[in-house]
Structure 1
């Protein structure tokens, strides 16, 4: 008997903290981290025409740990809310070092959907 297996992979992006991304204490600058997350989320959303505004609106931000020079970071996304009016997308940044495996930051971005804009008009 053949079975059909659905596999879904969450979008993800890797980046490494470089000298141009740090402050004088070798910690990753907050605006660089935010820009990486925002660009990542934009790259996912711009592929979908049902978004009213493909620019993310920051809803919630949690800075949990610092990242430092030469850290290899991974950004993953997850849908946490999707209804007729909006989409909430969680972007989580992890330190990929096996000995650390820490969550660096979490951010929730909101996107209004076209249907909600049409109904409001």
Structure 2
């Protein structure tokens, strides 16, 4: 299987934060759900189906002006579907390493064979 790994930058702005400057969790979830679809796009003829199942865990808060990296990697492909692992990190200013903000695992089902509108000629 070809490795499908995506890195997507994401900057926390004032309009997606609460009054205290914390990134709103639903905004982060929506963004990582979108990025999770990138490694599996080529496997679907039509639109990517809704996520079948997911796990989402927050470790730390992100704040206004934080520069985040959303990493998406296809970790499993089988007849049932595709699993995409997500890790969101931000660079620590005191050291040259990344601090984990959250992680997630998304399960995209195999395309339903009856979902297309193709007709036989």
TM-score in same-fold range (> 0.5): yes
Instruction: From the two aligned structures, give the one with the greater strand fraction.
Output: 2
Quick one: distance in 2 between partners of 1:82 and 1:44?
11
Calculate the TM-score normalised by the size of structure 1.
0.76
1:4 is matched with which residue? none
Instruction: Provide the secondary structure at the position in 1 that maps to 2:34.
Output: helix
CA RMSD, Structure 1 to Structure 2 (Å): 2.5
Instruction: Provide the secondary structure at the position in 2 that maps to 1:28.
Output: coil
2:59 is matched with which residue? 64
| Conserved? CA contact 2:12–2:64, under 8 Å | yes
1:28 is matched with which residue? 23
| Conserved? CA contact 2:4–2:74, under 8 Å | no
Calculate the TM-score normalised by the size of structure 2.
0.76
Instruction: Provide the secondary structure at the position in 2 that maps to 1:47.
Output: helix
Alpha-carbon distance change, 59 to 10 in structure 1, aligned in 2, over 3 angstroms: same
Structure 2 unaligned blocks of 5 or more: 114-121
Task: Map residues 1-121 of structure 1 onto 2, 5 A cutoff.
Answer: 10-49=5-44, 53-99=48-94, 101-114=98-111, 117-118=112-113
